[in-house]
Amino acid sequence: MTVEEREQRWTEAMLAERRGDAVAYERMLKEIAAALRRSLAPRLARVGLGVHEAEDLVQEIIIGLHSKRYSWDPTRPFLPWLHAITRYKLIDFTRQRRRDMRRRVDLPLDDWLEMVDPSADAANRSTWEMDRHLAVLPAGQRKIVRAIAVDGASVRCVARELATSEGVVRMTVHRAISRLLEAADPTPAIKPLSRNAHDKHR
């Protein structure tokens, strides 16, 4: 397809969107996504970003195009408009990733001091932090997690010591980990309504 044909096709689809033609608009967005994927993935690969990042960027551009679609003037060509949005999103995306990468590899002063002088204070702080995290667990779970994760005991040893099966120990560790993860991330997970709760809403 030539540039002129593409311009014509996507212009018609944008006009169709304004008339409420979802099918034509969806087809155009898919075509744009495919074209962007082909063009952006190698560019991002050059700066060390992978396929997932390219897909994130494609989604960003599609959302940007959709949310600002009324800034396109039908008397003007569509492709320069799309190019400006794509370029803006690409620059913004790489800048954000660079900032994020810098934050991830950053070496704050605390970490640096810990590295050059792993003093008793730091060790105490680590122990205190660990105790604080484990405090969310019931006593039984806490004992098993401490034995396996902190003291380094094997599942079999712990099972023998507690006079229970290895399966129960594994299950207890799994539940403890779920509980610790929940405690670490306070955002409420979206759970399906239980039957009782559903009935209550009726």
85 binds other proteins (CB under 8 A): yes
Q: In the complex with other proteins, which residue's Cβ is closer, 90 or 158?
A: 90
Applying CB under 8 A, the span of 14-22, 107-115, 120-128, 175-183 interacting with other proteins comes to: 14-22
Contact between 29 and 10 under an 8 Å Cβ cutoff? The reply is: no
Cβ-count burial 115-139 (b if 16+ within 10 Å, e if not) = eeeeeeeeeeeeeeeeeeebeebee
**Looking at 59-67, 102-110, 113-121, 193-201, which segment touches other proteins (CB under 8 A)?**
59-67
Backbone angle region of 17, left / alpha / beta, with phi > 0 → left and psi within -120 to 50 → alpha:
alpha
**Least distance to other proteins, CB of residue 46, Å:** 21
Q: 46 with 24: CB under 8 angstroms?
A: no
Of 87 and 174, which has the nearer Cβ to other proteins? 87
Q: Burial-class residue 34 by CB neighbours within 10 Å (0-12, 13-18, 19+).
A: exposed
Q: What is the DSSP letter of 135?
A: T
The answer to whether 75 contacts other proteins (rule: CB under 8 A) is no
Q: Which of 38, 50, 88, 178 binds other proteins (CB under 8 A)?
A: 88
With contacts defined by CB under 8 A, name the span among 62-70, 151-159, 169-177, 192-200 that binds other proteins. Answer: 62-70
Q: Which residues bind other proteins (CB under 8 A)?
A: 16-23, 25-26, 29-30, 33, 37, 55, 58-59, 62-64, 66-73, 76-77, 79-85, 87-88, 92
